[in-house]
Amino acid sequence: MDPNPKISICIPVFNGEKYIKNCIDSVLNQDFKDFEILVLDNCSTDGTKRIIQEIEDKRIQYFRNESNIGSIKNFNKCIEKAKSKYFLLLPHDDTLLPASLNAFYSILEDRDVSFVYSSVQTINSEGKDVHLNVNHQEDKFFTSLEGLRDIVENFVPIQLAMARTSDIKESEGFDDSFGPFCDVKLWIEILSKGKNCYYSSSPLSCHRVHPEQGQIAFLDNDIQIIGRHWGKKLTKEFLLKNNYSFLFLNLISFTKISFSVSEQNSHDLIRLLASHFAYSNLKRTYQSLKKINIFMLVIELRSLFHFIQELGLIEMLVCYYMAIKRYIKT
C-alpha cells in the first residue's frame, strides 16, 4: 500500500449491507489506482462489517464508531481521517462511474480550482438508471461568484465532488445545523473564500435515490428515518427547528452573510435562492392543507415568519411573486 496515496475516498456508512459492496467495487474497478479507501462505519447493526472485511484489498481501511454519532458527524470524521492531496466523500449507497477518478484527478492537477463536480446519473434502489442530471452541455470553469450562480440557478447541482483536502480541512466541515443542506453550505463556504471550481459535463458518478435517504426523510418530515441519520431517537419538537424549510432558511442566511449583498450580482443570487425557498414553502403549505396536517402547516407558517424576519416583507413579496410565476410555468 502506498503510504502517500493521491486520493482519499471516504465512505461513511450505517447499515449499508445492501449497497456497500457495489460502492466499494465501483472504486476498486477504476483505472486510476493510487488511492486509499476509508470506510467510516457508524456502528452498523447489520452485515456491513462482515461484507467489508471479506473484500481483500490493502487500500481499504475500516473504522467503526462505538455508537451512532449521526451521519453528519461521521462525515466530519471522514475529513479528520483523510490524509491524501485530494478528498472524495462517497456515501455507501452511491457509486463512481468508470474512469471517474482519473477525470477528477486530471482536472484538479491541471487547473486552479478547489473542487470538481459533474453531471450525475440518478439511479433507483435496484441500481437502474432513472435520470441523467446535466446542467451544462460542455465543461465549465467557474470563479467563486460563477460557482455560486451555478449552485443557485440549478439549485444544488453538486453531487460527489472531489476537492483539495487542504481546502476541506480549512473549512468548518459539514455543519449539522444545516441538515440536508450541509454539503451545499460547505461548497458555498469554500467559494466565499474566493476559490474556483470546475464542472465536468460528462457524468462521473451515480447518485442513488431510495426511501431511507436523509433528504427524502426531511422532505417527508419522517422523524424515524431522520432519527437514524441523526443517531438518536427524536421527537416532533425536534422538527420545529430542524425541518426542511427552517434549515433552508439557515442556508439562505449563511449565503447572504458569506457573499456581500452590496454587490448587485450576489444580491440577485440571494433573491433567486430565496425564491426557491418560497416555491418550496408554498408547495409544502398547500400539501399540509390538502392532507389536513396541522403540524406541517405550523412548520411552514413559522418558516414564512422567519423568512420575513430575515429578508423583510418587501423581499418576501418579490420572492413569492417569482415562485408563483415559476409554479404557473410548470
Number of domains in the chain: 2
Residue 316 belongs to domain spanning: 235-329
Crossing angle between the packed helical segments 182-192 and 244-258, to the nearest 10 degrees: 0
Chain centroid, CA 215 distance in Å: 9
Instruction: Give the contacts of 164 (CB within 8 A, at least 6 positions apart).
Output: 85, 86, 87, 108, 114, 115
Beta strands in 197-286 (DSSP E): 197-208
Chain centroid, CA 221 distance in Å: 18
Q: Is residue 1 part of a domain?
A: no
CB-based contact 239:174 (threshold 8 Å): no
| Domain end (from 208, 226, 249) | 208
- Dist. CA 300–CA 283, nearest whole Å: 10
Asked if pLDDT for residue 157 goes beyond 70, the answer is: no
Weakest-pLDDT range from 64-73, 193-202, 252-261: 252-261
Domain containing residue 137: CATH number: 3.90.550.10
In the chain, what percentage of residues exceed pLDDT 70?
Answer: 98
pLDDT (mean) for 132-137: 93
pLDDT (mean) for 76-105: 97
Q: What is the pTM of this model?
A: 0.94
pLDDT, tens only, 272-321:
999 999 999 999 999 999 999 999 999 999 999 999 999 999 999 999 99
Q: Say whether both 133 and 204 belong to one domain.
A: yes
Q: Is residue 178 part of a domain?
A: yes
pLDDT (mean) for 174-192: 95
Q: Say whether both 182 and 240 belong to one domain.
A: no
| Domain end (from 165, 190, 208) | 208
